[in-house]
Structure 1
Amino acid sequence: MVTFFASITLLLLGFFVYGKVVERIIGVDDQRQTPAYTQQDGLDYMPMSWWKGSLIQLLNIAGLGPIFGALMGALYGPIAFIWIVVGTIFGGAVHDYFAGMMSLRHNGEQYPSLVGKYLGKSAQAIINIVSIVLMILVAAAFTAGPAQLMSEVTPLGFTTSIVIVFAYLAIAAVLPINKIIGKIYPVFGAILIFMAVSIGVGMFFFGNPIPNLTISNLHPDSMPVWPLMMVTISCGAISGFHCTQSPILARTLKKESEGRKVFYGAMVAEGVIALIWAAAGMTFYGSTGGIQEAIAAGGPAAVVNEISITTLGSFGGVLAILGVIILPITTGDTALRSSRMMLADLVRQVTKKDLQGKGALLGLMAVVAVPAFLLTQMDYSFLWRYVGWTNQVVATVMLWTGAMYLVKQRKFHWICSVPALFMTGATSVYIFYAPEGLDMAYSTSMKLGAVIWTIVALRFFWMLYGHKVRALFRKPQANV
């Protein structure tokens, strides 16, 4: 219980203290007009209140990530609390804040365009493809998941459910942001918070105590914490998907000082939600073995349903079903929306022309929607496995982009470069080790990951200090 309360306190302090530090380093100027006014187009660019933007951002970045991911992360025991707290404060919230603020400073540009400006055109070309693929995978996974549950709790078949869900995703992704997203999604964001708070209170009435982190439960089984936990708990700590969503809200902020509330604040809120669900899983089932058996028997959705019904009765069951259906849908449509925006930016860069009009909008939408729909026919768990490491590659590149932005601005870059170095190591080892990666032995994966990390670190430090090293070996010029 002490570990849980300490973790909640640290997350809140992270927003009020470290969030202020990050804001001061990047510098905000409320006299500078935001893209919501300078680029206002009645579709994506339009002013919106910060509180509404915060709830929409939370819903966009969350989906079922801080619930399902946290429950899977609970398999590692209370050490998951450490990653959620540290990852959120120093990684995820910084990542989301820079993705949003850099977009704000560059007329609402999408993540791949920001990468191109600060990491070069080659990196942009690669990340354009990776990001759009990630968005299509997320949209497909967040169609198949809720459609499967809909087919189980309603008379609708699976195929019919997929068509209904995907049709909504496609329509919401092309409507002006204030039509559906701006009006309904703040309500859904509030439901997500209500669910978490209710479960958080209900935990104290479970038969088992909330576990504390001790030496004996630091590592409960044979699963390697590094780097698996850093990918399993992504949306509750750091997730590359978020940097594709922050530019959506960057196009709606009225002033720069709202960025900390919308971007940094939403990520801290997601960290709190993930912390609650991870603690609830450990507490409800009493052990990592108990929650592992429950997930193996019915999947994370069944676990959410059981905990919700036990805590809140039939009302909790309704909330659980709504959550498992609505939350991924509201993330899936913004995934399609951001992929449509990325594709528009890519076409603009290649052709030097802006695509305008309803025909161009629908054409862009079709390019990303068709493959997403086709992928919905695949197994949900298979799709989600590949979302995991792709997601963290995107997060790592965004942190490096933020680091280079600060380097060029001659500001304190370590707030981005240290988590970037950390995620470079975690992601490299994971790709070598994971079954959906190269499926190598753990020791081999660690060694190869260390090689990749060393190359990236040396390149970064050479860029920073190479001129000083060269100066030491430069021959002094003779006096004439």
Structure 2
Amino acid sequence: MITFLVSIVLLVLGYFTYGKYIEKTFGVNPERQTPAYTHADGVDYLPMGEKKNALIQLLNIAGVGPIFGPILGALYGPVAFLWIVLGCIFAGAVHDYLTGMISIRNRGAHLPELAGKFLGKVMKHVVNAFSILLLVLVGTVFVTAPADLLHNMTSSWLSMPIILAAIFAYYLLATILPIDKIIGRFYPIFGALLVISAVGVGAALVFTGAPIPEISLANMHPDKAPIFPLLFLTISCGALSGFHATQTPIISRTTQTEKQGRRIFYGMMIAEGIIAMIWAAAAMSLFHGSAGLNEVLANGGPAAVVSEVSTSMLGAIGGTLAVLGVIILPITSGDTAFRSARMIIADYIKVSQKKIASRIWIAIPLFVISFVLTRVDFTLLWRYFSWANQSTAVIALWVGAMYLFLARKNYYIAVIPAIFMTMATFTYILNAPIGFGLPVNVSYIFSAIITVAIVAVFFVAARRGLSQNLPLDDELKPTA
């Protein structure tokens, strides 16, 4: 219990200390007009209040990742707490803040355009394809996950096809309508339910004296299982997630002033880390160790763990509310995943989104592909999602590092987590069965060589950009 409580405190302190340092390093300008005003179009660009933006950002980024990921990560034991705290404060929140603020400085641009500007034109095309792949995978995962939970709750009167159709119908509306019509109107209500469910489970853990294990040198490497790189890809959204880099531009286009950035981008990542801590602790404490947790996962996956934790700790009514809160998480990220994909494609092919017909013909093919992918095994989808997710985070961190380098500011706050995650993602794809299947020791060697090469290329390109006086802000023109 002490490790759990200290971890929560450290996350909160991280927001007020390191978060403040990150804001000071970036250098906000409260007087500078944001894209919400300079590019207002009444659809994607329009100013909304700080509290509303913060709640929308939290719901955008907090899909099943900060719940399902930590539940799976709980199999590694209390070392998962360490990654959530350190990853969230020094990597995930930095990643989200830099992505959001650099987007604000560049008319609300999405990651592919930012990568093209700061990492080279080739990277724009690579990241564009990669982002669309990630968002379609996210959208699909965030269709099947809530559908499974809803089916478990309503199996006697709602079939899976009906549930899937209802979720897809909602996603289509949320994708094509102006952001203030559905997302801006209902997310604050959803946010309240999310907070209530997370606080309910967390409070139950504390007041019932749940046997949450403490971290120690003995359990830092559980059962001789290699935590690197698996732990750092399994727990993604609760510590660091590239999916967030696709979501922050949605809110960078509605943020009223740069001063709101720390609360909206850095702060909501900290909030997500707290959610991840709660669910990791619940998974570790309520199933008598990894063997019991494995048994539940084998019978029903992470969704079964969510249902069991919620009902056993909060009773029938409270448990149902908690499960509804968990269902809302992926739904309120799935809709914005498709919305982001639509916006990225529109920016890439330079098609104005003022007309609803333009939004529809871009969105429909995305939903068709996603529907086909729902027939694929969820576990396989999650593995590809995890790798694509963290690889996107790596790209976003290198974009942030380049921006700070060219601005002659402390770029190491982005370079250090970028190097670490570059090594982790390459090790995973070289070793994993879904990748090249190389022996783990060989994967370590090759990923180290690749990482060193990428670092070298980064510094060469950064010095070249500095000598050419590459402009940082406001160079991307609005979509026609």
Q: Give the TM-score range, shorter chain.
A: over 0.9
Q: Which residue of 1 aligns with 2:385?
A: 387
Q: Which residue of 2 aligns with 1:97?
A: 97
- Rg larger for: 1
Q: Are the structure 2 counterparts of residues 133 and 464 from structure 1 closer, same or farther at C-alpha, using a change threshold of 3 Å?
A: closer
User: C-alpha separation between the residues in 2 aligned to 1:455 and 1:68?
Assistant: 34
What does residue range 39-118 of structure 1 map to in structure 2 within 5 Å? 39-118=39-118
State the 1:206 CA deviation.
4.5
Q: Indicate conservation of the 8 Å contact 2:3/2:215, yes or no.
A: yes
What does residue range 178-197 of structure 1 map to in structure 2 within 5 Å? 178-197=180-199
State the 1:295 CA deviation.
1.6
Q: Does 1:253 align with 2:255?
A: yes
Q: Indicate conservation of the 8 Å contact 1:110/1:244, yes or no.
A: yes
Matched AA of 1:148 = D
RMSD of aligned Cα (Å): 1.8
State the 1:462 CA deviation.
4.0
Q: Indicate conservation of the 8 Å contact 1:147/1:162, yes or no.
A: yes
Q: Which residue of 2 aligns with 1:326?
A: 328
State the 1:357 CA deviation.
1.8
Deviation string, structure 1 residues 368-408 (Cα, Å, up to 9, x no partner): 22212222222222222210100011000000000001111
User: C-alpha separation between the residues in 1 aligned to 2:315 and 2:215?
Assistant: 30
Q: Are the structure 2 counterparts of residues 269 and 355 from structure 1 closer, same or farther at C-alpha, using a change threshold of 3 Å?
A: closer
User: C-alpha separation between the residues in 2 aligned to 1:7 and 1:396?
Assistant: 25
Matched AA of 1:458 = A
Q: Indicate conservation of the 8 Å contact 2:41/2:354, yes or no.
A: no
Q: Does 1:317 align with 2:319?
A: yes
Matched AA of 2:291 = G
User: C-alpha separation between the residues in 2 aligned to 1:237 and 1:154?
Assistant: 37
User: C-alpha separation between the residues in 1 aligned to 2:219 and 2:447?
Assistant: 27
Q: Which residue of 2 aligns with 1:475?
A: none
Q: Does 1:431 align with 2:429?
A: yes
Corresponding residue to 2:409 among 408, 411, 414: 411
Matched AA of 1:441 = P
Q: Indicate conservation of the 8 Å contact 1:207/1:284, yes or no.
A: no
Q: Indicate conservation of the 8 Å contact 1:144/1:377, yes or no.
A: no
**Structure 1 residue matching 2:43: 3-state secondary structure:** coil
State the 1:144 CA deviation.
2.0
Q: Indicate conservation of the 8 Å contact 2:64/2:145, yes or no.
A: no
State the 1:39 CA deviation.
1.1
Q: Which residue of 2 aligns with 1:272?
A: 274
User: C-alpha separation between the residues in 1 aligned to 2:49 and 2:385?
Assistant: 32
State the 1:465 CA deviation.
6.8
Q: Which residue of 2 aligns with 1:172?
A: 174
State the 1:207 CA deviation.
6.4
Q: Indicate conservation of the 8 Å contact 1:93/1:264, yes or no.
A: yes
Q: Indicate conservation of the 8 Å contact 2:43/2:353, yes or no.
A: no
Q: Indicate conservation of the 8 Å contact 1:88/1:271, yes or no.
A: yes
State the 1:355 CA deviation.
5.5
Which stretches in structure 2 are left out of the alignment for 5+ residues?
Answer: 466-480
Matched AA of 2:139 = A
**Percent sequence identity over aligned pairs:** 50
Q: Which residue of 1 aligns with 2:478?
A: none
Q: Which residue of 2 aligns with 1:368?
A: 366
User: C-alpha separation between the residues in 1 aligned to 2:246 and 2:149?
Assistant: 27
**Structure 2 residue matching 1:45: 3-state secondary structure:** coil
Q: Indicate conservation of the 8 Å contact 1:206/1:284, yes or no.
A: no
**Structure 2 residue matching 1:404: 3-state secondary structure:** helix
Q: Which residue of 1 aligns with 2:121?
A: 121
Deviation string, structure 1 residues 56-84 (Cα, Å, up to 9, x no partner): 11111011111111111111111111100
Which stretches in structure 1 are left out of the alignment for 5+ residues?
Answer: 468-480
Matched AA of 1:42 = G
Q: Are the structure 2 counterparts of residues 148 and 196 from structure 1 closer, same or farther at C-alpha, using a change threshold of 3 Å?
A: closer
Q: Indicate conservation of the 8 Å contact 1:58/1:269, yes or no.
A: yes
**Structure 2 residue matching 1:226: 3-state secondary structure:** coil
Q: Which stretch of structure 1 is more off in the superposition, 133-142 or 144-153?
A: 144-153
Matched AA of 1:346 = Y
User: C-alpha separation between the residues in 2 aligned to 1:275 and 1:236?
Assistant: 8
Q: Which residue of 2 aligns with 1:471?
A: none
What does residue range 23-38 of structure 1 map to in structure 2 within 5 Å? 23-38=23-38
User: C-alpha separation between the residues in 1 aligned to 2:124 and 2:455?
Assistant: 20
Q: Which stretch of structure 1 is more off in the superposition, 4-13 or 152-161?
A: 152-161
Q: Indicate conservation of the 8 Å contact 2:135/2:337, yes or no.
A: yes
**Structure 1 residue matching 2:218: 3-state secondary structure:** coil
Deviation string, structure 1 residues 421-476 (Cα, Å, up to 9, x no partner): 11111111011112222222111111111111121122234445799xxxxxxxxx
The number of residues matched between the two structures is: 464
User: C-alpha separation between the residues in 2 aligned to 1:254 and 1:355?
Assistant: 21
Q: Which residue of 2 aligns with 1:139?
A: 139
TM-score, normalization: structure 2?
0.93
Q: Indicate conservation of the 8 Å contact 1:92/1:267, yes or no.
A: yes
Q: Are the structure 2 counterparts of residues 113 and 215 from structure 1 closer, same or farther at C-alpha, using a change threshold of 3 Å?
A: same
Q: Which residue of 1 aligns with 2:468?
A: none
Q: Which residue of 2 aligns with 1:343?
A: 345
Q: Indicate conservation of the 8 Å contact 1:77/1:217, yes or no.
A: yes
Q: Does 1:201 align with 2:199?
A: no
Q: Which stretch of structure 1 is more off in the superposition, 384-393 or 325-334?
A: 325-334
TM-score, normalization: structure 1?
0.93
Matched AA of 1:436 = I
Q: Indicate conservation of the 8 Å contact 1:140/1:373, yes or no.
A: yes
Q: Indicate conservation of the 8 Å contact 1:208/1:286, yes or no.
A: no
Deviation string, structure 1 residues 4-46 (Cα, Å, up to 9, x no partner): 1221111111100111111011111111111111111111111
User: C-alpha separation between the residues in 1 aligned to 2:21 and 2:4?
Assistant: 25
**Structure 2 residue matching 1:399: 3-state secondary structure:** helix
**Structure 2 residue matching 1:30: 3-state secondary structure:** coil
User: C-alpha separation between the residues in 2 aligned to 1:154 and 1:46?
Assistant: 43
